[in-house]
Chain A
Amino acid sequence: MPSFVENWLKSAALEVQEYVRLVVAAMRGVVSRPIYRHDIIEQLDVIGIGSLTVVLLTGLFTGMAITAQSGLTLDQFGARAVVGRLVGASMIKELGPVLTALMLTGRIGSGIAAELGSMMVTDQINALRALGTDPIRKLVVPRMIAGFLMTPVLTVISDFVGITGGWIVSRFQLQVNTGLYWSSVRDGLYLQDVYGMGLVKPFVFGFIIVTVACHVGMRTSGGTAGVGKATTVAVVASSVLVIAADFFLNQILLTLLY
């Protein structure tokens, strides 16, 4: 039993060590040459534009669902008119960043882990090294930059679409006046909510999703079964880390900003 615990702790420590090494090497790759600009632009397109549909749909339906549910609850206090306040705050501070990050984990995290994992098991990563290319600079850095920059952009879009979805439900189902809804949304938010909770979180989440997926992908072994396992591990680990990071970021930001 002690040997099982010891082995588990050793392998966990090794994973953390390798993750940190990858992140440090990638950070160094961001600020030194060679920089593969073409790959960065390609990844901005793949991660940003490619994820737009899933983020739009998730934001829209989440905003609509939360508005319908909140309307019922607020009716008990005769406060249906302030539904916009609840929807705006929920979307921008919590649901927008977290749900967008979880959707990106499924779409981007799994894709990156599978792609790099396949390259690993078919010796393509070694071929890159043999041809004089640093795989971290060529594969990890462009994905890290794109994930870090595009997650906040997608989150803002998701927030806006979610609040707009909330307006559709509040106007046509809850019969709340349009002007009242939008002024309620505005009244319910502080500036710190928008730039603190709404924008700091997505940067951190984007970084976590992409670096974890790259780390898992680059450590794949065991053929096609290994690629499948790497994909699952990347999605599960990123999802848990995003939710855990959300809690800790909340605590830090609440202390610092409010």
Chain B
Amino acid sequence: MAAFLMTVYVLWLRELKRFLREKTRILTMFGQPLLYLLVMGQGLRATFRIDIEGFDYLSFIYPGVIGMSVLFTAMFSSVSIIWDREFGFLKEVLVAPVPRSAIAVGKALGGSTTAVLQGTILLILAPVAGLHIHAAQIALLLPLMFLLAFAITSFGTLVAARTETMEGFHMIMNFLIMPLFMLSGAFFPVSSAPAWMQPLMKMDPVAYGVDAFRNVLYTGAGTAAKNFAVAFPLGLDVAVLLGFAALMVALGMLAFTRTE
């Protein structure tokens, strides 16, 4: 047990140290959401007219952009396993006298921490989206971001554990991350999607993360805004994310315990 916790701690510490040292990565990870918010949000604002006082398309996609940032950072962190296992530090962990299942947990915690840090930076953009958030909302958002990040990193870790090549990595990028992102309801509400798409959106764990952010961020925006944008109750969002995260991290732990 001590070895398990120490391994989790070492992996987490490593992830955090690396993240804080890579200033350019933080910057690019910040730049992409900013582009979505400013260019896409501003550009589509006139087309997607929402008849709610003090609420526009920018306010609508802002939680989605945070979700996107968390999704990309978390996935980026977990796919690095593919590389790391062949040419990196992970090999060193695999040959150490520690339980390998700890890799899945350490990686998920490390990736989640960096994703939350990344997401937190985006909170300063709330005024750009016409949303005024206060401390109580931030206190709620941080654990929700962490929960979404943990679920996604665990999922990514599980996929990466079973992927052996960099070609596989590109497959993940195209066939997992983009659909997860597009079906998350970041850019259009679940309720206005065509009937065939709605079940798919309801299967996307990221949708529950984005929806949880909306639940919290729109508390000051009135019931009309909430009715329009929010798809599920907060309790359901949290329950789905918790269940998904628990299942993924358990499967991830199993995947690493296997020896060929």
A is bound by B: no
Contact residues of A with B, CB < 8 Å?
Answer: none
Residues of B within 8 A of A (CB): none
